Structure 1
Amino acid sequence: MPTEYSKSQAFKITIALCLAQFCIAADIATLSIATSSLIDYFQSNVDDLKVVGTIYPLIGASLMLTSGVLGLYIGWRRMLIAGLCIGVLGSIAKIFAPSIDWITYVARPLIGLAGVAILPACIALVIGHFPAKKHAQLFGLIAASTGLAAAIIPILNGFLIDTVGWHAGFVTTGIFYVITAVTATIWIPPLVNKPPKRFDLKGAAISLVGMICIISGLLKAPDWGILTNQSSLPIPSPLSSMSPALIFIASGIFLMMLFVRHERKFDQRYQSALIPRNWFTNPRLNLGLLLLLTMYVIFGGLNFTLVAYLQVGLSLTAAQTGIIVLTFAISLITSSIITPRVFERFENSTVACLGFGVCITGAFLTVVSTGTYTFEGSIYFAMVAFGLGLGMLSSQTVAIITKSVTKEEAERTGGLQATIRNVGLAMGIAIVAGSGQFAMETNIREQVALQVSPTSQIQHHVDSANSIPYITNNVLSLYLDGLNIDREKKQFLMDINANARQINFHTSLYIIMFFGLIGMVTSMRLRAQK
């Protein structure tokens, strides 16, 4: 049974856990809001920033299953504090980054490792320190801390990035990690856990490689091709015509099938597998995980495509983008906090279904609010709808999952939930943003083929390019000036690019609507379960 704490003690534990979640969300928000500045500073493009954004979910999805059990050995509190300290190191690595590759392959992996430790520990500490009737409310508060980061960070760090430089944004995130590490050390009591009989090292290795293959394949599919090979990778016959992304995904699925088989046998023998064998046949748990996955596909896709379009497509500053994101964040905070109270008498699955419906409404409103070069005031209503929908889902999906297993097993779901969360974020970037990128490239190639001379330099460059980057008007203007394009033709090509960027964004929103429908159907199936 959880220990009975005084109101003051419970408050301090809650604040420390919310701050830990805040740090991760603040780090992600800072990277997002710094997109335009990083592109200009390192002479990069959105494709490079997409790779930076995918490193975190790649690391997380690969290691979360293992960390979900590791906390039982070293202690959840100790693992949380370790993750926060790694977050400090990751922030320092970004502040002194000499190149975009340093951020991609050094700083972001450190933040990924921080998330691997922090997220499962937060879930386990909530379940271990508080009674079940408080879980939905606490998960709502933790989700609200994500919204609070989305509200504060774009404004605060957006101002610092615009006035001081992109480094300043990551200084604030480093300070947040330090403060949270201190509060976690002082305010959170350790949990007494019984370590499993034996650590499943083989299962951890198989899941690591399998998840890396799946996530890498998903993330590279827009560049490597979905079915056919569009890359320059040396693939031997007879697979040379097949997309490397498809090979990676298929290999990953095969490894995860071996992982499931191994877990069943290991759990039967030692009762200490990374995933207990009864979870594979628990329909409510599996449907709850599907809801969580779908929610984070929507969240990940929206987070990446919205900021990219506002800053790159519409040329808004970090601070201007932050004001729009603030509307979403305030709505998310409010919804996360009040949903467990307002809908207390309703089934979690019913509230989840409503949440996905509100997200679909938000996507539709965003489509009608955004043009080629401007946006309408109704985008703020769209952000309110997205915030309400995702806020409703934040508390309900986690509650569905933890209620579907025993209390002892619920602590261990943190790693699996965090894995699903990161897979969803990666799928959001790969599928939602990737579909938009495909639509944009298709449109540009079609328009250039129809309206540009076949012998021109532009036609040659478009035909020979494996992919067409998502770039700002300034970058395209400099490129066209280098080709000595006359003013009238230059503006014509700029308009083609701007229209294609809008098609990119709207296509992504249609995909979000589709996933919203999947979430609604899944919620209704869950409601039908006894």
Structure 2
Amino acid sequence: MEAAENSGHPRRWLILGVLVVSLLVVVLDNTVLNVAMKVIADPHAGLGASQSQLEWAINAYTLVFAGLLFSFGILGDRFGRRRALFLGLAVFGLASLASAYAQSAGALIGARALMGIGGAAVLPATLSIISNVFDPRERARAIGIWAGAVGLAVAIGPILGGFLLEHFWWGSVFLINVPIVAVGLVAIATLVPESKDPKPGRIDVVGVLLSIAGLVSLVYGIVSGGDHGDWGKPTVWGSIALGAAILVGFVLYERRSDHPSLDVRLFRDPRFSAAVVATGLMFFAAMGTFFFSVFYIQNVRGFSPLTAGLLMLPFAAAQVVFAPRSSRLVARFGAKLVCTVGLALVAVSLGGFTLLGVDTPIWVLEVLFFVQGVGMANVAAPTTEAIMSVLPREKAGVGSAIGNTIRQVGGALGVAVLGSVLSQVYRGDITPHLARVPAPYRDAAAESLPATYGVAGRFGDAGRALVGPANDAFVHAMHTAAAGSGIVAVLGALVVLVWLPGRRVAQHRRQHVPAQRVADRVAETAGAREE
């Protein structure tokens, strides 16, 4: 079997470069926007957006993106993955242009929602094309590079955003996407082969609509709860409950359908189910950490947005170096051991955040970011490969969509839940110190660290006296949230340790793949080359 001809596309590594660029521009955008929030809120330098409008500038993208990922994965399999990638990237570029020149906060929110539609088409298409142009023996390495690009984008987004904001107007953080998208579209049309499910059957309209409704309702409840810090509101828990109920209905419907968009029997495979759960738990922990670390670096430690972005470079370096090499570790030690150790490293790094103080040497934070990056690099790539390896190539879009959807839902839930924990602990610690602040300002001052700073600036010496207690309160709140993140990462490690098959089981399964399935894959790739 090892001596068999490589069934990958002859230009597969060049195609991978195009896919990585397409992926980078989509993932970069959300992290860049976080840096620009303060400027967009400025009535003179920005749009004068309110706090609620700023939240929806982020949430509109997340809501549409997460809600449509699964559907676009299905549509890409049916109508063509290159077509989905091209159209998605084109929509993303046009929406970026609209965002850059938005004249009001409402227009920006609408453009961001349109960007979510484009991004939802791009992300699953990149991974499903990888599965179709690479031989299974090289796929793990290619997915490692893909996963490293995701981590790199998360880390360098704040750097790029900080640089642009220091030299140009706020719209530049969106306008930078346009020339990259233009080059990407030419490269896709020139280099990327078309691929699709040769026998798609009837489209599962009811299943697609149920998945969209369930995911949108679930994510809406999650982000609303995180924004308001109040999970007891009927609109929050009601939306989450409704979304969960619809998704349960979706699963029940898919079990009975003779043409399901998602074969729920996949979850009986421990490789698939354990990888999905571990991915969700890891991104829950990681995205929550990135959320509070931004405030720690910029507010407590006083670094500029650009410097804050540069401080994320150890995480980016770890992703770039270790994600592509994770496949070698998996081949030698097995996915179970590699992923367990990776999640343990993530848990250790998150535990390290509980030791950070107001004056802790900054190199300690750099070490924690690096360790977290190493851990995530050795989890994201192997779990993604585990998910994709369970499905045949013609269903690659569905596998990609499932993995990316769980990332988005897990990350949104992490930011919302851990952000709420952070907010509640901070409010409890800072409230006793606000006695000297006039009553009308107390509630606003207790909302967050930046809000306390804003109120403190109004009251001279009395206001300046709040800065120290505010920093201490935030650090304590950060410790609590970090501890929660670490516990979630440990749970992920336990899931992998208990349910992900060991090395011997995985090797046995690979050695007993039916010969016809291998022949079919070679034939599919040959057809793609002819196109």
Normalised TM-score (structure 2): 0.86
Q: Which residue of 2 aligns with 1:333?
A: 320
Letter aligned with residue 210 of structure 2: I
Q: Which residue of 1 aligns with 2:117?
A: 113
1:44, distance to aligned residue in structure 2 (A): 5.4
Alpha-carbon distance in 2 for matches of 1:60, 1:346: 36
Letter aligned with residue 442 of structure 2: V
Q: Which residue of 1 aligns with 2:237?
A: 246
Letter aligned with residue 457 of structure 1: P
1:20, distance to aligned residue in structure 2 (A): 1.3
Q: Do 2:77 and 2:394's aligned partners in 1 also have CA atoms closer than 8 Å?
A: no
The correspondence for 1:215, drawn from 219, 232, 237, is 219
1:470, distance to aligned residue in structure 2 (A): 4.4
Alpha-carbon distance in 2 for matches of 1:310, 1:38: 20
1:504, distance to aligned residue in structure 2 (A): 3.4
Does the residue aligned with 1:379 lie in a helix, a strand or coil? helix
Q: Which residue of 2 aligns with 1:235?
A: none
The correspondence for 1:500, drawn from 447, 469, 473, is 473
1:115, distance to aligned residue in structure 2 (A): 1.9
CA distance 1:420–1:150, shift in 2 (3 Å): closer
Q: Do 1:147 and 1:330's aligned partners in 2 also have CA atoms closer than 8 Å?
A: no
User: Aligned pair 1:97/2:102, yes or no?
Assistant: yes
The correspondence for 1:521, drawn from 482, 486, 494, is 494
Q: Which runs of 5+ in 2 are unaligned?
A: 506-531
Q: Which residue of 1 aligns with 2:518?
A: none
CA distance 1:427–1:152, shift in 2 (3 Å): closer
Alpha-carbon distance in 2 for matches of 1:216, 1:467: 25
Q: Do 1:285 and 1:405's aligned partners in 2 also have CA atoms closer than 8 Å?
A: no
Q: Do 2:266 and 2:272's aligned partners in 1 also have CA atoms closer than 8 Å?
A: yes
Q: Which residue of 2 aligns with 1:236?
A: none
Q: Which residue of 1 aligns with 2:129?
A: 125
Q: Do 1:219 and 1:427's aligned partners in 2 also have CA atoms closer than 8 Å?
A: yes
Letter aligned with residue 171 of structure 1: L
1:392, distance to aligned residue in structure 2 (A): 1.2
Q: Do 2:274 and 2:500's aligned partners in 1 also have CA atoms closer than 8 Å?
A: no
User: Aligned pair 1:299/2:318, yes or no?
Assistant: no
Does the residue aligned with 2:332 lie in a helix, a strand or coil? coil
CA distance 1:45–1:314, shift in 2 (3 Å): farther
1:92, distance to aligned residue in structure 2 (A): 0.9
1:47, distance to aligned residue in structure 2 (A): 6.7
CA deviation profile, 1:208-265 (whole Å, cap 9, x unmatched): 1211221111112245565534xxxxxxxxxxxxx43111111111111111111112
1:361, distance to aligned residue in structure 2 (A): 2.0
The correspondence for 1:283, drawn from 261, 266, 270, is 270
Mapping 1:389-468, distance limit 5 Å: 389-448=375-434, 452=435, 457-458=438-439, 461-462=441-442, 468=447
Q: Which residue of 1 aligns with 2:148?
A: 144
Mapping 1:70-219, distance limit 5 Å: 70-103=75-108, 105-150=109-154, 152-219=156-223
Q: Which runs of 5+ in 1 are unaligned?
A: 230-242
CA distance 1:153–1:57, shift in 2 (3 Å): closer
Q: Do 2:271 and 2:501's aligned partners in 1 also have CA atoms closer than 8 Å?
A: no
CA deviation profile, 1:92-120 (whole Å, cap 9, x unmatched): 122112344433x2122122112211111
Alpha-carbon distance in 2 for matches of 1:348, 1:46: 43
1:469, distance to aligned residue in structure 2 (A): 4.1
CA distance 1:109–1:203, shift in 2 (3 Å): same
Alpha-carbon distance in 2 for matches of 1:466, 1:214: 30
CA distance 1:168–1:466, shift in 2 (3 Å): closer
Mapping 1:18-37, distance limit 5 Å: 18-37=20-39
Q: Which residue of 2 aligns with 1:257?
A: 248
Letter aligned with residue 207 of structure 1: S
Does the residue aligned with 1:117 lie in a helix, a strand or coil? helix
Alpha-carbon distance in 2 for matches of 1:128, 1:144: 19
Q: Which residue of 2 aligns with 1:232?
A: none
Alpha-carbon distance in 1 for matches of 2:226, 2:16: 41
CA distance 1:94–1:278, shift in 2 (3 Å): same
Q: Percent identity?
A: 22
CA deviation profile, 1:461-504 (whole Å, cap 9, x unmatched): 436x69724426652334xx2xxx4x342222333333333233
Question: In angstroms, what is the RMSD of aligned CA positions?
Answer: 2.6
CA distance 1:525–1:57, shift in 2 (3 Å): farther
Q: Which residue of 2 aligns with 1:234?
A: none
